[in-house]
Structure 1
Amino acid sequence: MAQKRLTDVAYARRDQSYFDRRGLIRHANVFHLWALGVGAVISGHFSGWNFGLAAGGWGGMVLAAILIMIMYWGLVFAIAEMSPALPHTGAAYSFARTAMGPWGGFLTGLAESVMYILAPAVIVYFIGAYMSAIFGTPEAAQPVWWVLGYLLFVGLNIWGVALSFRITLVVTLLALGCLVVFWVSALGHFDFARFALDIGPDGEQLAEGNGPFLPYGIGGAFAALPFAVWLFLAIEQLPLAAEESVDPRRDMPRGIIWAMITLMVSAFMIVWLAPSILGVGAHALGQSDEPLLDGLRAIYGEGLAEGLALVAVLGLVASFHTIIFAQGRQIYSLSRAGYFPPFLSITHGRRKTPYVAMIAGAGLGLSVMLGLRHYFGEGAGSIIGGTLINMAVFGAMLSYIAQAASFILLRRNHPYIERPFVNPLGVGGALVTIVIACVTLGFQFADPVYRQGIGFVIVWFAAFILYFTLFGRHRLILSPEEAFALEHARR
């Protein structure tokens, strides 16, 4: 018998009952998709981005944010073309499967899964930090907030897709409203030169401010890239709702483009105003786990700020809720096709939500958080948060490179596929996305502390690649993504 090559795959037969147990319901319109995109990202405007101030100073963070924004526009326009042309739940995995074959689809889906499992962990970490600051709970109680967060929002996502989208729309609007209130409040309480520029060349805090635009030089801007990603991370999740969208061919491009415009405005306002608030400053904000709360305290005082911070938590809740939605769909699509164990793709009999995938993803994310807490110790709060961010960003950058490459290959090898929306940036925009993502990856490896987190992700990759090599590739299933890819491979 001839020996099979490592790249060979085999398909197992499944009857209609297999897919009946994995059904989804169409519900989302363009406003739901817009909210899904904005809501997934908005927590990054409440916490996480500010660590870039410590890495590059205010000027470095601004330059990093501009570069990352350019990268995301290249990605968003590529996705806006691919998602209505390949309207499947698999999204990034689906694009790469058609463009690069089973291994390309698997590795891209794996990178996306890393991001969607770890991004909620980052967000619930910051939710715990905010709630601890508001209610005065001890640092040792942080895991309690994490567990409560997962229980509540995984439960809401399991309850039903209609409820999930309604909650997403409401909390996203409330989170944006909270940010608008913060911006308006900050406009009367800021001194840019005195506070935003309060970091010296050696990293010391300048009492009178007026420090250099780039206290760490241009290298500081590159070091801030992984944290600037947090201003836009997860907007690419919209195509995961393709099989739950009423009209993905029309609404998917509109939803993701308008979401990106909204986030671009919000990112500019928060990076400009938050470090400039009287009594805060870029130096202090670069070390904070709850930067928005710090700004509210400086403006309104301790008592009122804590009440407002409860509203501010809505921004974190919006992203936590929506990325759990994405996490479930990503794991569901890969397991429905046999890349992950198929039992993970079973949906609820009445509510038609991928509850097994969401529970499994939440359990894995929580396990990583608890493992890092044990590894670094209870007092290493900002290190745990920063490490989780870098782990999520590492997976995201790999998936962005793969998605941009998929766009280029689909344009070249499958020009006959109907494209309801055409990317105005074309192949050039996708190439720019690949270059900036590669640079961001390089600077992630430059930080010796956060490099450990990337090492953990590499171990994660190795374990899943071993599973796919030994088992998964011999038992693939003709899901919609696989059937589409095989049909167009023959053409």
Structure 2
Amino acid sequence: MAKQKVVRELKPSLKTIHLWGIAVGLVISGEYFGWSYGWASAGTLGFLVTSLLIATMYTTFIFSYTELTTSIPHAGGPFAYARRAFGPTGGFIAGAATLIEFVFAPPAIALAIGAYLGVQFPGLDPKVAAVGAYLVFMTLNILGVQLAANFELFVTVLAIGELLVFMGVVSPGFSLANFTANGWAGGSELNHVAVMGILGAIPFAIWFFLAIEGAAMAAEEAEDPRRTIPKAYIGGILTLTALAIGVMIFAGGVGDWRQLANINDPLPQAMKAVVGENSGWMHMLVWIGLFGLIASFHGIIMGYSRQIFALSRAGYMPAVFARVHPRFKTPHLAIILGGIIGIAAIFSDEWIKLGGQTLTANIITMSVFGALVMYIMSMLSLFRLRSREPKLDRPFRAPVYPLFPAIALVIAVLALLTMAWLNQLVFGLFVAAMVAGYVYFLATKHLRDAAPQDDMLEGLGSEGELPLKPSLMPGKD
């Protein structure tokens, strides 16, 4: 008996501007916090080197990744590309890694929201504020994708405006001498210690751009994704690169940058050094700066829910999480599941505080491990699909192929190996999570066999025919 075909119940209503807002909004909290931990590792000059290297990786990655997104506009994003290129096991690796990235990023952002609110309300417990943020924005995501996307666009534009205001307000206090003072790890010279610091700062440079790829998970909800997604991605990566470099340089030049390392609110503290604690500019930054965190928090909830939804629909997770709300047409149970995991991470201080780093730093590192594995799988999928499916419709083709995807792949592999070496305890947790997921994957083949057939996940051979290898057919584990 033939399998029932997948019915795509997510509502296509997002335009280019919405997708750009999602792409930038997913990431923009990285300009507000998290990156300053890279100063603690590498110094200002060392972290600038790390950031330029990672910006190169992301730029070449996005131009390459857009080919996959426009060719296979699927809510699963990286999971769908790897599933089509490498079969069920490849789909599992990419899907599980993406899930770790997107489920662990929101707790770090929620804690930063609590830290920003703590500037205004010193008695407020950051964890209580973080849980409140989860409840509010999970609800907003459940109420409908159009409402969620419009809100995302609104807060993203406000957040960008606030970053520009920040740079303008602190510019009178900027000094290049401040930025370069003790600019390398261990002192003022580039040596072995400085190089180790540059390598150790990789996860925090990635935090500047982490999750931009999540806009691909809105592909099934986009109007004409093959036309709108390239514009959104290219505009997004250019916007984010300019903001990341600008914010980092201006914040580092207003005083002793070492006071801003290892904290969750570097921008308010940098502005305080220029305008004073009671300035109206200071209070405006705290309140409007929250929108940057909210934009990413809200957008990543949208991203993780679509990943859970797609994995469940394809039989990689229990089918119940693929249910769509009958009225709002959103994957409400997937939204709730990711929220429960994130809230649990917020209260997991004892086991997540590893290696002497803060809770936020370790959550960021765990999320980055997932991202790097996903980037590697996505670039391998691009090469594989170019070889296996030359006739696949590619509305956007990666420029300078194969150089761009090769650059992204090589930097991602080197970053993963370096991070695993320097963060062995967190990497051990990441590997344990992937192994546990793989055991579940092996034990639940029946779920994939029973899942509806999804044509986007089925690869085609060079002559436009289904591949003969059973291992590449859906459900043939």
TM-score by length of 2: 0.92
**Distance in 1 between the 2:353 and 2:215 partners?**
36
- Answer yes or no: is 1:298 the counterpart of 2:284: no
Partner of 1:490: 466
8 Å CA contact 2:79–2:94 kept in 1: the answer is: yes
- TM-fit CA distance, 1:388: 0.5
CA distance in 2, matches of 1:135, 1:374: 26
Q: Which residue of 1 aligns with 2:86?
A: 100
* 1:368 maps to which of 345, 357, 362: 345
- The corresponding residue for 2:209 is 232
Corresponding residue of 1:308: 285
Letter in 2 for 1:423: A
Indicate if the aligned counterparts of 2:107 and 2:342 stay in contact, CA closer than 8 A: yes
Match of 1:248 in 2: 225
Q: Whole-Å Cα distance in 2 between the matches of residues 362 and 27 of structure 1? A: 25
Conserved in 2, the CA contact under 8 Å of 1:297 and 1:306? no
CA distance in 2, matches of 1:13, 1:157: 35
1:339 aligns with 2:316: yes
How far apart are the structure 1 equivalents of 2:294 and 2:159? 9
Q: Which amino acid aligns with 2:211?
A: A
Contact 2:308–2:317, Cα closer than 8 Å, also in 1:
yes
Structure 1 equivalent of residue 427 of structure 2? 454
Tell me which residue corresponds to 1:109: 95
- For 2:394 and 2:29, locate their aligned partners in 1 and report how far apart those are by CA, in whole Å: 32
In 2: Cα distance, 1:183 partner to 1:365 partner: 32
1:460 Cα shift? 1.4
2:150 alignment partner, one of 162, 166, 174: 166
211-220 or 332-341: bigger deviation: 211-220
Which residue type is aligned with residue 51 of structure 2?
A
Q: Which moved more, 1:214-223 or 1:340-349?
A: 214-223
Task: Report how far residue 365 of structure 1 moved.
Answer: 1.6
> By how many angstroms is 1:368 displaced?
2.0
Equivalent residue letter for 1:303: N
CA gap of 1:155–1:489, structure 2 versus 1, over 3 A, is farther
2:41 is matched with 55
Rounded to whole Å, the distance in 2 between the matches of 1:353 and 1:270 is 35
Distance 1:336 1:99 in 2: 18
Matched, 1:463 2:436: yes
Matching residue of 2:62: 76
2:454 aligns with 480
In structure 1, distance between residues paired with 2:117 and 2:200: 29
CA distance in 2 between partners of 1:200 and 1:215 (Å):
10
Change (3 A) 1:13 1:475: farther
> SS where residue 202 of structure 1 aligns?
coil
Spell out, residue by residue over 1:70-92, the C-alpha distance to the aligned partner (whole angstroms, 9 max, x if none): 11122101111111111111110
Residues in 2 aligned to 1:414 and 1:166: alpha-carbon distance in whole angstroms: 36
Is the 8 Å Cα contact of residues 60 and 214 (structure 1) preserved in structure 2? no
1:463, CA displacement in angstroms? 1.6
Q: Is the 8 A contact 1:400 1:434 kept in 2?
A: yes
What is the distance in 2 between the residues matched to 1:194 and 1:455?
38
Equivalent of 1:137, from 123, 145, 150?
A: 123
Between the aligned partners of 1:224 and 1:473, the Cα distance in structure 2 is: 43
- Conserved 8 A contact 1:183-1:269: yes
Q: Aligned residue for 1:42?
A: 28
> Are the counterparts in 2 of residues 183 and 270 from structure 1 also a CA contact under 8 Å?
yes
Aligned to 2:72: 86
Q: CA RMSD in A?
A: 2.2
Flag the 1:442–1:155 CA change in 2: closer, same or farther, 3 A. same
Q: Secondary structure at the match of 2:373?
A: helix
Shift in alpha-carbon separation, 1:336–1:486, aligned structure 2, 3 A? farther
SS in 2 for 1:352: coil
Once the two structures are superposed, residues 283-321 of structure 1 have per-residue CA deviations (whole angstroms, 9 ceiling, x without a partner) of: 122222110111121122112323421111111001000
- Note the C-alpha offset of 1:443: 2.3
Which of 123-132 and 320-329 deviates more? 123-132
Q: How does 1:313-392 map to 2 (within 5 A)?
A: 313-371=290-348, 373-375=349-351, 383-392=358-367
Q: State the partner residue of 1:208.
A: none
- Equivalent pairs: percent with the same residue? 33
Partners of 2:183 and 2:312 in 1: CA distance: 48
Query: In structure 1, what is the equivalent of residue 139 of structure 2?
Result: 155
Question: SS at 1:330's partner residue?
Answer: helix
Q: Using the alignment, how far apart are the partners of 1:151 and 1:479 within structure 2?
A: 34
- How far apart are the structure 1 equivalents of 2:369 and 2:353? 23
The 1:324/1:200 distance shift into structure 2, 3 A limit, reads closer
Aligned to 2:15: 29
**Residues 201, 215 of structure 1: 8 Å contact kept:** no
Q: What TM-score, normalized to structure 1?
A: 0.89
The aligned amino acid for 2:454 is P
